[in-house]
Chain A
Amino acid sequence: MKPLPKSLRGSKRYVLGRIVPSNISADGKEIYYAIYDAIASLYGDYGAAKISMSVVFSEDDRVIIKCSRGFEDKLRTAVATVNRIGKKNCAIRCISTSGTIACLKRKIPKQYTYETTKDVNIGEIHYLVCPVSQEKVDLYKEGIKHQDTFYFTREDLEEL
């Protein structure tokens, strides 16, 4: 099918989202399927067609989603119901909306590395400590099966 000429094309808006937890590196395709399933489940096929969502950019924990103008709120509502991307439990938090991708890309902060701390034991189970920010740390249970993750702060680790 031939694309519409520019004068007949509808306006689009772009929504910047952040995937939590930040260590999940999801493919753009997986993110698209997760959001599309959420939209279709909430608004049906007609609603999904009206919103006409697509994922235009994804890097680390940031994603830029395109939608039709006037449907940003519906897109944000559907994105709030996303609780899984692929097999990983996560959420997408919408940060801002803009008419251009460049404006949203300027809002993406730089990634920083943080001081690592020693691994901890909770009970008899050993957990790897992964710093997320100056205050936040994620604890991952070692091993292939039965992955457990806990989300603590540095002050909580000192109390353990």
Chain B
Amino acid sequence: MVFSDACVFVYPAGNTSLRRMALEAKYLGLKRLVCAGSNISGSYFGVEVLSGLNLRPGDFRDFSRQVKSAKKSDIVMAHAGDAGLNRSLLTSGKLQILRGLECAPKKAFDDVCAKSAYEKDVAIDIDLSAITRKREISRQKALISFEEILKFQRKYGFSLTISSGAHSYIELLSVCDIENLCGLFGMEKDEVRGALNTIDGILSPYSPVEVIN
């Protein structure tokens, strides 16, 4: 299993360089990082680094325009909005990870979105910075939101990814910490490990027919 952090921000978006982030991630048990806003991908200190495109579209046209104009990235992520936008993003076929559902309006992610996420192989991201860096009502809302996403995931079977949203190596989380934090909203250890391994499935998607020479 290759444990991945689905979204980190390296220098200049954060205060830690790519190599330093990879080195620290290695000590925490992570073997792959997705760097949002970075075009560099490769392997540093035994940790695979992928380039991620992190979009905040106002509407679906904005999303299509940003995807066309951006440089090619390994992973395409977008922030969730209202229910209409989420459905358009999930059915577009250009998105790989949908993030920020804990900040989205109520009922932004419903059963239609869950079915679309499963059919189009779009993963839903759980950003643990909502638990580690927020307090009081914001954190409570995030925990409720994650619990609902987990219920949808258990019923409809779409993939989940887990990210630390780290802007500094200080904010990175170890695999053990991720398991403990995900346990707060009812995620089992097997489910956490499966979610940490989802990026593998995104990079090499399962296809029903394989030609073997």
A-side residues, CB < 8 A to B, are 20-21, 41-42, 73, 76-77, 80-81, 83, 89-91, 93-94, 135-136, 148-153, 155-156
Contact = CB atoms under 8 A, between A and B. Distances in A.
Interface in B170-193: 170-171, 173-174, 176-177, 180-181, 183-184
B176 A153 contact: no
Nearest to A76: B180
- Highest count of chain A CB atoms <10 Å: which of B16, B20, B133: B20
Given A41-B136, A73-B183, A136-B20, 6 more contacts: A83-B133, A89-B168, A150-B11, A151-B16, A152-B17, A156-B17
Nearest to B128: A80
A74 B116 CA distance: 36
Contact of A73 (B135, B136, B180): B180
Contacts of A81: 131-132, 181
A118 B28 CA distance: 30
B171 A91 contact: yes
A131 B162 CA distance: 32
Contacts, number: 67
Given A80-B132, A135-B23, A151 B169 contact: yes
Q: Is the interface of A mostly helix, strand, loop or mixed?
A: mixed
Interface in B43-94: none
* Interface SS, B side: helix
Given A151-B16, A156-B17, A80 B177 contact: yes
Contacts of A153: 17, 19-20, 23
A40 B174 CA distance: 22
11 contacts: A41-B139, A77-B184, A80-B181, A81-B181, A91-B170, A150-B11, A150-B16, A150-B17, A151-B16, A152-B19, A156-B17
A89 B19 contact: no
A41 B131 CA distance: 11
